[in-house]
Amino acid sequence: MLRLEQVNLFTRLKSQAQSNLPGYPILQDISFQVFPGDRITIVGSAGAGKTSLLRLINRLTEPSSGKIYLENQEYHQIPVIQLRQQVTLVQQESKLLGMTVGEALAYPLILRGLSKQQIQERVGYWQEQLQIPDLWLGRTEVQLSAGQRQLVAIARALVIQPKILLLDEPNSGLDPGKASRLMNILTQLTQTPTQTPATAILMINHQLDLAQKFSTRLLHLQQGQMLANHPAPEIDWDDLKTSLIAAEHQASEEWI
Ligand SMILES: Nc1ncnc2c1ncn2[C@@H]1O[C@H](COP(=O)(O)OP(=O)(O)OP(=O)(O)O)[C@@H](O)[C@H]1O
């Protein structure tokens, strides 16, 4: 359903902006495919390019070269709003844009012309799944904890029923019980779909124990390059942990 072909992303330093210098690489020669029902975990040390990759797929940035296709349609041929209804990103610091939780959950469905009853049913379903109490509905984001905000942001993406859900460290603000429950709900979403084709999920996740249970496939980025793209059963998770710790160590030494 999604295909990246030899995608490169270069950035320019401010001092280079007026020059013809190519800038430095953030992502290099990235190619992979996403199929319905996939649960893909993206790992890599700090600065490896994980968030940049999700932003490219959500079209918040444009590739410097290479192509991205959704259902065989080149990204440029799809209006951005239409694309983001199908490929939805939950960023780490999602905002409710001044709305209350109730308004933020209903708003994307109002835009799609759903009836009041349909909206209540859809929002109610995800509220129950993610254990979002009615008490929160009148609150704004400043009245929520980081973990509560995170759950609301995920619920807001799920009510849209996107074809592809992009999650940037969705567990970061959640306690272990809630994190594990979320992973189960997301797994269920891809296995017993409420829509056809089944939703695919791409998730950045540093918690390898959760990733191991969750993933059907793993993408390992290192310094903007695809180090590995393997089905989860083929991964040696202990080896992966060792290599990520080593890369993290090297990256922090380079920063000193
Ligand atoms: N807007 C930007 N302008 C210039 N460089 C950027 C920009 N965004 C990211 N970068 C650089 O691109 C590289 C990849 O960053 P990215 O945020 O994608 O990494 P990451 O793997 O998500 O890291 P982390 O785990 O720390 O969130 C880094 O070297 C970063 O400094």
Question: pLDDT tens digit string along 23-35?
Answer: 789 999 999 999 9
pLDDT computed for residue 197 by the predictor: 81
Give how far Cα 214 sits from Cα of 13, 71, 85, 160, 191, Å: 38, 25, 24, 22, 11
Q: Is the CB of 216 under 6 A from ligand 1?
A: no
pLDDT computed for residue 14 by the predictor: 57
177-193 burial by CB neighbour count: b if 16+ within 10 A, else e? ebbbebbeebbebbeee
Distance from C-alpha of 94 to C-alpha of 205, rounded to nearest angstrom: 17
Q: Which of 11, 91, 203, 245 to mutate to test the pocket of ligand 1 (most atoms within 8 A of CB)?
A: 11
Q: Is the CB of 162 under 6 A from ligand 1?
A: no
Q: How far is the CA of 123 from the centre of ligand 1 (A)?
A: 34
Distance from C-alpha of 210 to C-alpha of 235, rounded to nearest angstrom: 14
Pairing mode of beta strands 2-11, 24-34: antiparallel
CB 64, CB 9: distance < 8 Å:
yes
Q: What is the ipTM of this complex?
A: 0.94
Point out the least confidently predicted range of 67-76, 144-153, 247-256.
Answer: 247-256
pLDDT computed for residue 16 by the predictor: 53
pLDDT computed for residue 84 by the predictor: 93
Q: How far is the CA of 204 from the centre of ligand 1 (A)?
A: 13
pLDDT computed for residue 26 by the predictor: 94
pLDDT computed for residue 21 by the predictor: 63
- For a pLDDT cut of 90, what percent of the chain falls above it? 74
pLDDT computed for residue 53 by the predictor: 98
Write the residue with the smallest CA distance to atom 25 of ligand 1.
46
CB 74, CB 12: distance < 8 Å:
no
The ligand 1 atom nearest the CA atom of 49: 18
Q: Is residue 146 pLDDT above 90, yes or no?
A: no
Please name the amino acid found at residue 170.
P
* Residue 12: pLDDT band with limits 50, 70, 90: low
